[in-house]
Chains A and B, each alone.
Chain A
Amino acid sequence: MITIGKLKLKNPVMVASGTFGYAREFEDFLDLKKLGAIVTKTITLKPRQGNPMPRICETASGMLNAIGLQNEGIENFINEKLPYLAKIGTSVIVSISGNNAEEFSRLAKRLDKEKSVDGIELNISCPNIQAKGLVAQCPDATYEVVEAVRKATDKTIITKLSPNVTDIVGIAKCACNAGSDAVSLVNTFLGMVIDINTEKPKLANVTGGLSGPCIKPIALRMVWEVAKNIDKPVIGMGGIMSAEDAIEFLLAGAKAVQVGTANFVEPGICEKIIKGIDKWTKKKS
């Protein structure tokens, strides 16, 4: 049993936001209730269309995306997606994003009324929205957002950090001091790909977030740095494609992991990762 805030997880494997839709998309490929937790696609107050196409591009051992938080908005999420998630039988963590602390707070307040929501992940680190900078790049803004959400809910708060910073430990500390129950890291690295035939960027948004196995060593280093410097649980992610990858994150100090891009490549992969970790744990003890 893994404890994160008020969450009790049956195993340390969660699915990362934005890589698993609202879980139903994957019901044919794995037994969803076996997951440690499901983190939903990020929800905003109002529906968002997302960015223009093309939005994704393959890179060597990775992918670049600039989806732009396309979602139907909080009310549609609660009416149309949450009832299915509630019936699965595992922890449901809703990822939220807002333009300011007040929007984050309103989202959290709304979710606080929903019994089937077990936790809230604050996506303060999406690199693909038109804003001056990321909340997760500024210690004060991070503190302000987390503090506002903490006032709005007693549910478990996980703050998702950006790797596009100089001092990720500092930001993690701000999130924890403001009342976050845990931090999850890393979100994607800001990147870019140019098509040499058209001489234009491959993404319409020009830049996008890099994920997949190519970021794993950097993500692992950041998880290790944060884990040894804060007291709250760290949820590690970044390019996990196998149980071995996940175990590396656990050894670096993460209490749980999130599997992201791998879900796109192999929709049933989380079950394999859960089994692999279980086997490793038993062998160790």
Chain B
Amino acid sequence: MKDIKATILSNVKVKGDYYKIILDAVYIAKHAKPGQFVQVRCASGTEILFRRPFSIHRARSGKIEMLYEVVGKGTEVLSCKRSGECVDVLGPLGNGFTLLPPSTLHPSPILIAGGIGTAPLVFLAEELAKRKIKPIVLIGARTKSLILCEKDFKKAGADVKIATDDASRGYKGFVSGLLEEVIKKGKYSQGAKVYCCGPDPMMKSIASICLKHGLKCEVSLEETMACGIGACLGCVVKLKNGEQKLACKDGPVFDAEKLSLEQ
């Protein structure tokens, strides 16, 4: 972990309220793993006090990319930053997704992305591609114009399926329904592992579907946090066994089986 001043190489709108920022951040790029995140100080001064956590969307050749959604004051200020400006970035933070050792033969995993939750899964798909593993990717979006990263996943060799809430493309409804359909049709490898990131209600339904069908599932959680390094204790996640973990330090990726979904 390091706190670095990173130069913005580009910061552009992708679609809707989604933006992509690319930073010159050699140390973080070198050490980042899929599922990890960074804490970015979006504004100078103290009015917007906390840093904002963003999952790492891509890390290569000394650069890191974050795909983010403008949802409030912090991200709004960030979206106005221009290339050449600097931001404070802390990372890489947390633990990433669990991957089997490269040499292990394992069934194609299923990556399930909802909205901005797509961001870390691209990093994961590209890492899997390096290991010659081609996952199934299910992308959920509100409407077809907001589907994120379809091309990136395809480029990584993934079998991409789409679900839209308004039925404008692909499966009609939530991505959890699409997963049920994939399972029902048996169009996945036995013992496939599921990696999921998206809004809480979506991850809850995905986790319960996986539990029902005996699929291992990892979810990447998002919590409000001040520090990102395990000091403020603001991002507590309760496990089924009553244990308390921190989203920042012990997560943000958790084994869905262990999570208490009622929280």
Same complex origin of A and B:
yes
Q: How large is the interface on A (under 10, 10 to 19, 20 to 34, 35 or more residues)?
A: 20 to 34
Please judge, given known A-B contacts A19-B232, A50-B233, whether A63 and B50 are in contact too, CB under 8 Å. yes
CB contacts (< 8 Å) of B233 on chain A: these are 50, 55, 67, 70
Is the Cβ of A55 less than 8 Å from the Cβ of B231?
Answer: no
Bound-complex Cα distance A268 to B41 (A) = 14
Is the Cβ of B88 less than 8 Å from the Cβ of A266?
Answer: yes
Nearest CB in chain B to that of A69: its residue:
B233
Nearest CB in chain A to that of B232: its residue:
A264
Cβ-based interface call for A53 (8 A): yes
Please judge, given known A-B contacts A61-B46, A63-B50, A265-B51, whether A25 and B231 are in contact too, CB under 8 Å. yes
Cβ-based interface call for B175 (8 A): no
Cβ-based interface call for A261 (8 A): yes
Is the Cβ of B90 less than 8 Å from the Cβ of A55?
Answer: no
Nearest CB in chain B to that of A23: its residue:
B231
Which parts of A31-67 form the interface with B (CB within 8 Å)? 49-50, 53-63, 65, 67
Please judge, given known A-B contacts A55-B236, A65-B234, whether A28 and B224 are in contact too, CB under 8 Å. no
Per-residue interface assignment for chain B, residues 205 to 247, with 1 indicating a CB less than 8 Å from any chain A CB and 0 otherwise: 0000000000000000001111101111110100000001000
Is the Cβ of A50 less than 8 Å from the Cβ of B231?
Answer: no
Is the Cβ of A65 less than 8 Å from the Cβ of B50?
Answer: no
Nearest CB in chain B to that of A60: its residue:
B47
Is the Cβ of A21 less than 8 Å from the Cβ of B234?
Answer: no
Bound-complex Cα distance A54 to B49 (A) = 18
CB contacts (< 8 Å) of B236 on chain A: these are 50, 53, 55, 70
Nearest CB in chain A to that of B50: its residue:
A58
Q: Which of A54, A213, A241, A267 gathers the greatest number of chain B CB atoms within 10 Å?
A: A267
Q: Which of B41, B226, B229, B230 gathers the greatest number of chain A CB atoms within 10 Å?
A: B226
Cβ-based interface call for B1 (8 A): yes
Bound-complex Cα distance A70 to B224 (A) = 17
Give the B-binding residues of A (Cβ under 8 A).
Answer: 19-21, 25-26, 28-29, 49-50, 53-63, 65, 67, 70, 212-213, 241, 261, 263-268
